[in-house]
Amino acid sequence: KEVTPHAIKGKIIVKGKRGRTFANIELPGVESSPTLEAGGQPTKDSSHTFENEDDEEEEAAVLGVKSAKSPEDDAKNNEIRAALKKKQKEAKPTKFAKELDDITIMEAVHYDPSPKAKRQTYQSTSFTETKSTSMMKKLTMEGYVDLNKQILTRVYPSGARVDSSNYNPMTHWEAGCQLVALNWQSSSGYPLRLNKFRFMENGNCGFVRKPAGYRKVPESQIVPRKVPMGLKISVISGFQLPKPNREVGGEIVDPYVLAYLEGPGITPEGGDKNKLTTHTIDDNGFHPIWVSPTSPPSSPAPFTTLSIATDRLSMESTWDLSMLVIQVYDKDPASFDDFLGEVMVPLRFLRQGIRYVPLYDEHTKLIEGAFILCKIEFVD
């Protein structure tokens, strides 16, 4: 059976190392694989380079390898790396259970940069976030995107993240990486929320097709389409906004709205030109209305234009990968502003006009009855 999204629909996908290149699964153009000896030990003919899940540089970082600032530091680093290599050489061959081997459809293999390397579509290579970032620099972003049109890449958090924090997955989606793993212990962190909103599309099934610019698509099958250069957004009002942490009691909130784009080459932190921040409404979380201080009370706030980057990818791919982030905060002059709710919407699902925008809490749970009313226009 051919491994396609349709064929594996409704099935559990098992990924891992295998004793054989493939077994007991009939695939077009794939030869039968070597067998396992009794006890699950690979035969001598089944030599295979496996994926190194514990990246040497990551393990070295955890054990104390740092930037050498003196000959003593350099010597210590070399000593740690030598111990790691010795540990790898002394490692015993891995045994594989035939039953588990037979159902492992996504095979973990080591990355081979050789042009002659032969890869199958079901084989996956894992990189730590630091290794993936270095691949972007080594191959350039365009080169890494082209590589990920040929291979299946999994990115996972650095072992040095002992606090279970996360990296921003958008950087690796931009590089075309298919499986971007995160630490789910940090359930309220921004990176994990971004990941959850990304995969809410497609029926929340866990699969989202990459934009055409990230896939190996024949030119004859590419249908050019015109996409906006950006969008204009105006926040009109809100309704039934929650209190911080969804508390029942406490002071009445003083809400304001922050809106910006998250996508390839877009850096909201770079300034106020690519984000919208409304003014604060005092003591009104039930039905705040944002209006311009210089406009009549009945008119909505002026539009703020949010532009998407076009220097790295085609306009279609940039638009399809980017997301609009709308967040609501409670102004607190004495300390940090409190998070009230947010929503992140892929730009390709946006429609022009006055739109109802539901809000979610920091754990990506829908806040019943709370929403923002916005007006959206596309910029050609």
Query: pLDDT tens, 46-76?
Result: 334 444 444 545 545 544 555 545 667 677 7
Ranges 49-53, 80-84, 146-150, 293-297, most confident:
146-150
The answer, yes or no, to whether residue 294 has pLDDT greater than 70, is: no
pLDDT score for 89:
65
- Rounded mean pLDDT, 169-194: 92
The answer, yes or no, to whether residue 135 has pLDDT greater than 90, is: yes
Burial class (CB within 10 angstroms; exposed 0-12, middle 13-18, buried 19+) of 81? middle
C-alpha dihedral sign at 213, 218, 221, 226: positive
The answer, yes or no, to whether residue 317 has pLDDT greater than 80, is: yes
pLDDT band at 203 (very low <50, low <70, confident <90, very high): confident
pLDDT score for 289:
93
pLDDT score for 366:
96
The answer, yes or no, to whether residue 113 has pLDDT greater than 70, is: yes
pLDDT score for 227:
84
Tokens of 155: 């990115």
Q: Strand 152-156: give its sheet, edge to edge.
A: 15-16, 106-108, 123-128, 152-156, 179-180
- Rounded mean pLDDT, 329-350: 94
The answer, yes or no, to whether residue 299 has pLDDT greater than 80, is: no
Nearest by Cα to 367 from 197, 188, 243: 243
CA distances from 96 to 20, 33, 38 (A): 9, 14, 10
Which range (83-87, 159-163, 246-250) has the least confidence?
Answer: 83-87
% pLDDT > 90, the chain: 38
pLDDT band at 304 (very low <50, low <70, confident <90, very high): low
pLDDT score for 69:
55
Cα–Cα distance, 155 to 246 (Å, whole number): 34
Task: Give residues with Cβ within 8 angstroms of 124, minimum separation 6.
Answer: 15, 51, 106, 107, 108, 109, 151, 152, 153, 154, 179
- Rounded mean pLDDT, 188-201: 92
- Rounded mean pLDDT, 325-347: 94
Average pLDDT, the chain: 79
Rounded to the nearest angstrom, the gap between the alpha carbon of residue 270 and the centroid of all alpha carbons in its chain is 20
* Beta-strand pair 123-128/152-156: parallel
pLDDT digits (tens, 9 = 90+) for 84-108: 677 666 666 667 788 888 888 888 8
Cα–Cα distance, 84 to 293 (Å, whole number): 64
Burial class (CB within 10 angstroms; exposed 0-12, middle 13-18, buried 19+) of 82? exposed
| Single-letter code of the amino acid located at 201 | E
Cα–Cα distance, 234 to 186 (Å, whole number): 32
CA distances from 42 to 46, 94, 99, 112, 376 (A): 6, 9, 14, 21, 60
> Phi then psi for 152, rounded to 5 degrees?
-100, 120
Nearest by Cα to 146 from 312, 321, 273, 266: 312
The answer, yes or no, to whether residue 259 has pLDDT greater than 80, is: yes
What end-to-end distance do the CA atoms of the chain give, in Å? 45
Cα–Cα distance, 114 to 205 (Å, whole number): 35
- Rounded mean pLDDT, 330-349: 94
